Amino acid sequence: MDEASRRAHSQLFSWLCASNDEPASELTQAEWNWIAQVAREYRLRPLLHLRQRSGIGPSFPPVFSEECAQSFASQQVRWLDLKGGIVRTSRALSEANVPHVFLKGAALRLSVAAEPAVRPMRDLDILIPRDRSVAARDALTALGFHALPGDLETALDRGYQQPALIHSASGLAVELHHDLAALPSIDTASLAAFVRDSVEHVRLGGHPIPVSAPCATFLHLLLHAGPKSLFDCGPLLLADVAMLIERRVDRLGELYERAEQFGLLPTLALVLQLLERHGADTERLGLDSAHLPLVAETLVDHAEGLLVQPSRAVHQRKMVREARDDAGRLAGIDKAFARALMPSRAGIVATSGGRIEDRLLWLRYPHWLMKRAWQLLSGLRDRSLAGEVVRDRALAKFLLDDPAANRAE
């Protein structure tokens, strides 16, 4: 990374971490172009608008400033619709006697964020008991949602969420989760139980909305970012965690104990290193770093790069990772091809356009298949990507290893 890239990178991460450190000097047009591109890809513009309003850091170029302001205003309008959708969805599930908890974006917007518009949401993630999955789907179907194609029994047996539900009139998407991930190495079911047991309620439209509590949300973000996604989730992670520390630190007293219980101490240590590197006030957590796993600087560097990798490269990287072993050699190529070329509605929309609920979406499959095959083949030929996969594997090994032997004395 050259000096100009490092400066732009550092300034963006400082904004995300709500740093009060001395800001960077004025940025060049090329540096602003990089920041703007990352902000568009990873839904950061509303948050950056808030940072600009606070006067922290260099002044935004007029065009980018207006773009961020418009994105913030759009999220404010969208939030009005989302609040109605949250209330109607929660009431329908309550009337069907389905215990439920709103996760991630909805929980952050409702119980943490000072201004909900800074935290964009693509859909509503809702945790429900596995044995109430059919009742939950039926309740939302009666409300005007329709399920995307997919076998519910298969999802309950092998996955952690149902096929998404889309509201016919509003287009609101709901994902019903009966678990938080499908990871054999981590007891995600116990974490899901903790999320349900520690639920908080926020009144909205006269209805008590059950949301994930701050400590549970923090742990869920760690699970999603590290073991589940290997830091390809985008840099909004850092803003979410910094916001939890800034606004709800009083509810994070169990964080260390619970992270240890659920096998998330390595991810916690790495995320805290990223936050500290860019000026976040992590000391407010009151954690003793001697009790955390030691994190090599090379792993922190690698995770930081993964957070801002171009979104178009994420799927290619996953496919190549599947096809190469820990040393970067080709292995299991048949399995990699089978998984890579298995279509999904979300993937087809991202690559070939259309609407995810369109029943004729599969007509776009040949176009998607050709692009996907080209991505995999070109990725396998890219020697630099083979080296990146080796570093990915080292990061994954650290995140999933028992950290007890790797803590500071």
Q: Which CATH number does the domain 86-301 belong to among 3.30.560.10, 3.40.50.12780, 3.30.460.40, 1.10.10.60?
A: 3.30.460.40
Of the candidates 280, 219, 225, the residue with the CA atom closest to the CA atom of residue 255: 219
- Residue 135, judged by CB atoms within 10 A of its CB (0-12, 13-18, 19+), counts as middle
Q: Are strands 124-127 and 173-177 parallel, antiparallel or unpaired?
A: parallel
Q: Which of 96, 99, 157, 161 is nearest to 124 (CA)?
A: 161
How many residues does this entry show for the chain?
409
In the block, tokens 């959708």 appear at 85
Q: How many helices (H) and strands (E) does the chain have?
A: 18, 7
- Give 324's DSSP letter: B
Full pLDDT tens readout for the chain, 409 residues: 566 678 899 999 999 998 876 665 688 999 999 999 999 999 999 999 999 888 877 889 999 999 999 999 999 999 999 999 999 999 999 999 999 999 999 999 999 998 999 999 989 999 999 999 999 999 999 999 988 877 677 777 778 998 889 998 888 999 999 999 998 888 899 999 999 999 999 999 899 999 999 999 999 999 999 999 999 999 999 999 999 999 999 999 999 999 999 999 999 999 999 999 999 999 999 999 899 999 999 999 999 999 999 887 777 777 777 766 555 565 655 555 555 556 666 666 656 666 666 666 666 767 766 776 666 666 666 667 777 888 998 999 999 975 544 444 4
Token pair listed for 251: 């509810």
Report how far residue 246's alpha carbon sits from residue 236's, in angstroms, rounded to the nearest whole number: 15
So what's the pLDDT on residue 18? Answer: 85
As a three-state string, the secondary structure of 101-144 is EECHHHHHHHHCCCCHHHCCCCCEEEECCHHHHHHHHHHHHHCC
Residues 6+ apart with CB under 8 A from 257: none
- Position 116 scores a pLDDT of 93
As a whole number of angstroms, the distance between CA 399 and CA 396 comes to 5
Ramachandran sector of residue 270 (left: φ over 0; alpha: ψ -120 to 50; beta: rest): alpha
By three-state DSSP, how is residue 147 classified? strand
What is the layout of strands, in order, in the sheet containing 101-102? 145-147, 165-167, 173-177, 124-127, 101-102, 207-211, 200-204
Query: Which bin fits 165, alpha (ψ -120 to 50), beta or left (φ > 0)?
Result: beta
Domain spans in the chain, listed from the N-terminal domain onward = 3-72, 86-301, 310-406
Residue 109 is predicted with a pLDDT of: 96
For residue 161, which of 372, 397, 354, 346 has the smallest C-alpha distance?
Answer: 346
Burial class (CB in 10 A: 0-12, 13-18, 19+), 280: buried
DSSP class of 68: H
Tokens of 265: 């101490």
**Close Cβ partners of 283 (under 8 Å, ≥ 6 residues apart):** none
With beta carbons less than 8 A apart as the criterion, state whether 96 and 147 touch: no
Nearest to 273 by CA among 252, 251, 304: 304
Q: How far apart are CA 175 and CA 247, in angstroms?
A: 27
